[in-house]
Amino acid sequence: MPHRAAGYNHVIFHESGGLYSVEVSARRFAILYGEDGYLVHTNHFLDDTMKAIEKDPEELIASRVRYFRALRLVKQESAHTIKTLQAIQRDHVNFTNSICNHATDLKDPLDREKTINALIIDLTAREMHLAWGNPCKNPYHRYHLDA
Ligand SMILES: [Zn+2]
């Protein structure tokens, strides 16, 4: 959409195996493809053209820490299950910069990060597993996606 004020990362996937991550800023976008059957993304740009517009990449060090931790965990398993993916989302290694983020740094109330939900979509079973809030403290609820 033109004239947008900001952008986010959008993950688009299909049961045929297509897996895309669309990085969006206010004026640009880039498309990443999950060539090996997986794709990891956190809160910083991965595409080189998008990295060029980041004002202060050092503000996003925590995002990079989470990215490399998640990438390592994703690559450790050859065949993930809902349980192994939930374990990644509940991971606390590198706390306070862990994948499951608890907003422990309360110095600046306008600059806090926290996990607001954890989501896993199983396209084979056509189910969505969703935990509201931190997945280490809240149960996953299963939603059936069949029409
Ligand atoms: Zn947690």
CA distances 54 to 5, 16, 59, 84, 142, Å, are 15, 33, 10, 32, 37
Does residue 86 contact residue 120 with C-beta atoms inside 8 Å? Answer: yes
C-alpha of residue 17 to centroid of ligand 1, in Å: 30
Q: For helices 61-76 and 82-89, what crossing angle results, to 10°?
A: 160
Whether 138 shows a pLDDT value over 90: the answer reads yes
Give the other-Cβ count within 10 Å of 76's Cβ: 10
Query: Mind listing the pLDDT tens digit for each residue in 54-109?
Result: 887 777 888 999 999 999 999 999 999 999 999 999 999 999 889 999 988 667 77
> How much distance in Å is there from the Cα of 121 to the middle of ligand 1?
20
What is the residue extent of each domain of the chain? 82-147
Model confidence pLDDT, tens digit, residues 1-14: 667 677 789 999 99
CA–CA gap between residue 97 and residue 61 (Å, rounded)? 9
With bands split at pLDDT 50, 70 and 90, how would you rate the model's confidence at 112?
confident
Q: Write down the pTM of the prediction.
A: 0.88
- Cα(69) to ligand 1 centroid in Å equals 15
Backbone angles phi, psi at 122, to 5 degrees: -100, 105
What's the pLDDT tens digit per position in 42-55? 989 999 999 888 88
Phi/psi of residue 38, nearest 5 degrees: -145, 165
C-alpha distances (whole Å) from 56 to each of 18, 60, 83, 98, 103 are 32, 8, 36, 21, 21
The alpha carbon of 39 and the centre of ligand 1 are apart by a number of angstroms equal to 22
Whole-number pLDDT of residue 1: 63
